[in-house]
Every structure is written in C-alpha cells, then in structure tokens.
Structure 1
Amino acid sequence: MSQKTNIIYDSHAYCIPNLNGNGGFEDISEFRKHLQLAGGIMGHSLPAWRKSDRKTNDNYKMVYPEPNWSFDSLKNVELNLKGHGRFEWKEKGENYIKQILPPTISGMEYSVENLIA
C-alpha cells in the first residue's frame, strides 16, 4: 500500500512601490528619509562600495551607526535611486553605491501585476 505524502510549499514575494515617487507621503523628502534610514541599516545586503574604484566600504555609509536608529542618525548625503535596485549617494565629494534590491527591479518598483504576470 502506498502512502500519500503531503507537500507544503512555502514562499514569499514583495511588492515595492515606486521608490522614486512619494511613497504615500505628502512630502517626498519625508519618504526619502525613510528610504535613507532603511537603506542605511540594511546590513544583510551587499556592502556599500565607492563608485570610482569599486572598493567596498562601510556598510552604514548613509547613517551614523547608533544604538537607536532614528532620523537623527541620517548623514547629510545626496541620495539618488538610479534604478536596478541601487541606492547611490555622494558624501564628502565621493560617490557611493549600495545594492539594496535585486538588479531586476529596473524601475525601482515591483507591482502586484508583476507578481501575476
């Protein structure tokens, strides 16, 4: 007699709003603060690197590492979201990059429609 085996499939997916938009905030600069803080504390992704020579750098370049992450820990940087999941910014005359999202997120958004396509 054969036994029936139940298989459980576990997966997850993310929908990402347009990160170059306002994220539902009235003030786009407020949304940018959230992105900078989230991008700065994401230590699980690739480290930041200097654009000129691709030398890896401090993973927390966009924020001052503090025990309690807050908007007060944000550095004064020119944050840009250029596409393909990359956060780019300038600090003290140097350009830096951090790959936050998968490179396939070319337009810095991933809609519900993309999940079912």
Structure 2
Amino acid sequence: MRQKFIELGEGYTDIYELIELGRQMPSRVKGALAFHCEREGKPKSSLALIMAPADKFQPIYICREGIPNPHEIPNTRYDLFKRMTEEIGVDIHEYTLKPSTMFPETELYYQYLIGILRSNKELPRLT
C-alpha cells in the first residue's frame, strides 16, 4: 500500500479545508497529528489527518508549518482542529521534529515523517 502526504497548504486558511475533511468523513479518519518544530527561529506546527486506505493508497492530508505552536502561542486555528478531533472521537498525537527547511526537497521531508509514523505504529508497514 502506498502512503502519501497530500499538502493542502501551510495552514493559514487551508486549515479550514483540513477541518472540513475531518467533519465530512469522520469514518475515514484514522488519526490526527500535530508536528511541532522551530522554523526560522519561530515555533511552528503542522496539522495532519491520517485517512483510512482507499484500495492500495493511504492519504495523509497535511497543512505544513503554517500555524504557531499552540503550546507556545495559543491560536484559534489549532483550537478549531482540536474541537473537530473531539467531535469525531480522535486523539491528536503530537511530535516535535526537524523543520521541513532542513531537507533539500519537500518529498524527502515527507519520507522522514512516514518513517517516524511507521516506527510509532501510526501507519502500517508496507505490504
């Protein structure tokens, strides 16, 4: 099964689409994630939803490093994401990681995230 990140944007307004995906397809949401990092000296967070596989493909929708880390700078966008996860009965699993700017290509960053998620059993192994 192929697992792939689908980037909706950086989370400024794209976060509302991510929230709507969770609300419209709660039965497909298998996990909610918050990745925290320091990017360009600022605390940033990415929010993501792991969806149930569709045939041989498992999408992970993400808004990458566009909102402040809510543990350092409280913000409404994170609160709305958290409220949606509570409504659909999914916990947010949080990780502190390297920022995407440390990788020469975004695709390498996403491979790094997939490796972390597999090792933490958030994603199934490749079969």
**TM-score, length of structure 1 as denominator length:** 0.25
Q: Which has the higher strand share?
A: 2
**TM-score, length of structure 2 as denominator length:** 0.24
